[in-house]
Amino acid sequence: MTEQADRRSIVFVTIDSLRADYCGFSGHDRELTPTLDSFAEDGTVFENAVAPGPSTSESVPAIVTGDYPVEREEAAVDIDQRISRIKPHLQARRTIAERLSEIGYETAAFTPNPFTSRYFGYDDGFDHFEDFLDGSRDQIYQRLLKGMKGSDYYLPVRILLNWTQREEAFKPWEAFYDDIIEWADNQNDPYFIWVFLMDVHHPYLSDRETRSQSILKEYFANWELRRKQYDLDPESRTHDWLVQSYEDSIRYMDKCLDQLATDLDDDNPVFVVTGDHGEAFGEHDSYEHHGGAFGQEGEQEYHSFLYEENIHVPLVLGNYDGVDSIEDPVSLSAIPDILESVATDQDITEVADDFAFSKTMDDDKIAVRGRRYKSITTLDSIKVYDLDRGETDPIENDKLSDEFGSFVAGVRNTTEEQGRLSSWSRQFSTKSEEQG
């Protein structure tokens, strides 16, 4: 095991809404991610990395702790219910920050994502935690989270103003970049920095250098997605402008990775880069990562999906001397083990498995992902897909037992085990609450 004095610093970058197939090293041909591609070329790529869930609230609790939160039927859209679900989960488990602190790391986090803020308990265990919120902004912040019931337009306007004025939540990376470097410059090795980037999250905005279309098209496409309640025509110009805006936002985000690699070069850190979940663009009649739509009072409703565009994300170790690639599936719930293995110079290949697991917040959809095959289980069905042929047509039931028997058996064992764990967790949670 590596001694503390010899341990390398680690920069963990989580990119909201970045799907794997928009990265150059995964085959995208528009050179959106040159820095991330260079990390992949010289480091280790997990080719089949799977987000624990299709949104930040469904994914990041498991990324930070390695465990999925206890499922509760009422834990859906309401912010207070989300906090009551996530915060106790983080407090009851060793987080990434706590694990690395125990072996001598100074730890810091910089996140403009309101759903990974102190309100949810993500500051637990960090020596320094910055979510860019102060007392004077709390009221605006709470309104942002609740989406201003009765107004379909408040949230996109608020996010746009945050981005352009570089205030509050959802701010671009350039608005807080100097804070990251200033903190790193004042630390002794080793340090651990968690950087959460919102630049690829809707609305997809970029700067003049990385924007490949007019700013009017960019703003219009983002606005129309919200105005039409995420129900765009995939054959429309608006769809094309929206995808182009998404691509430009990725290119803008990649500039941050390049800047970090340059400015932290003397510290020689390992970069661990991933997306917290993916993003849909009409592949299965949904957009963004919640499926869209609004309730009767104007609040956003959530309809999560577990297709590849929703949960297949990049996971790259840059400036790291290890195997070139790992093809077996790995869940991002393995991130704590990966980071600790990097810190202690242990083998990281053991985190991969035959299957990776992903599910929605209320446990009504469960995906089991193999290298080639994948199942999606709902309350009333199970569908198995050959990923080489896409997720348009599931494999017919009469062919499952013969052609894909071992995969189906593995899926059954995995989902049954997860069901037992979820049931036990619910019972444990109820008993704990009664005793409390």
CATH of the structural domain 4-353, one choice from 2.40.30.110, 1.20.200.10, 3.40.50.2000, 3.40.720.10: 3.40.720.10
40 class by beta-carbon count within 10 Å (0-12 exposed, 13-18 middle, 19+ buried):
buried
pLDDT at residue 78 tops 50: yes
User: Where exactly are the structural domains of the chain?
Assistant: 4-353, 364-436
Paired tokens of 360: 């929605």
Per-residue pLDDT reduced to its tens digit, 120-140: 999 999 999 999 876 544 554
Mark out the alpha helices in 294-404 (DSSP H runs): 308-311, 335-344, 397-403
pLDDT score recorded for residue 5? 66
pLDDT at residue 422 tops 60: no
Choice between 381 and 368, residue whose per-residue pLDDT is larger: 368
pLDDT score recorded for residue 290? 72
Per-residue pLDDT reduced to its tens digit, 177-191: 999 999 999 998 899
Alpha carbon distance 149, 49 (integer Å): 36
pLDDT score recorded for residue 417? 53
Choice between 433 and 53, residue whose per-residue pLDDT is larger: 53
Could you tell me the maximum CA-CA distance found in the chain, to the nearest angstrom?
A: 63
| Average pLDDT for 58-74 | 83
Residue 266 and residue 187 in contact, taking contact as beta carbons nearer than 8 Å: no
Confidence of residue 228 (pLDDT cuts 50, 70, 90): confident
Per-residue pLDDT reduced to its tens digit, 262-305: 999 999 999 999 999 999 999 999 999 876 544 444 445 556 89
Residue 338 and residue 100 in contact, taking contact as beta carbons nearer than 8 Å: no
pLDDT score recorded for residue 79? 74
pLDDT at residue 166 tops 50: no
Angle between helices 154-165 and 215-227 (to 10 degrees): 150
pLDDT at residue 434 tops 50: no
Paired tokens of 11: 């920069």
pLDDT at residue 50 tops 70: yes
As a whole number, the mean pLDDT across the chain is: 84
Peptide bond into 88 cis (omega under 30): no
Residue 230 and residue 192 in contact, taking contact as beta carbons nearer than 8 Å: no
**Minimal CA–CA distance to 85: which of 425, 421, 434, 354?**
425
Backbone angles phi, psi at 129, to 5 degrees: -135, 125
pLDDT at residue 429 tops 50: no
Placement of tokens 């869930």 in the chain: 53
Peptide bond into 190 cis (omega under 30): yes
pLDDT score recorded for residue 14? 99
pLDDT score recorded for residue 374? 92
pLDDT at residue 254 tops 90: yes
| Average pLDDT for 38-58 | 96
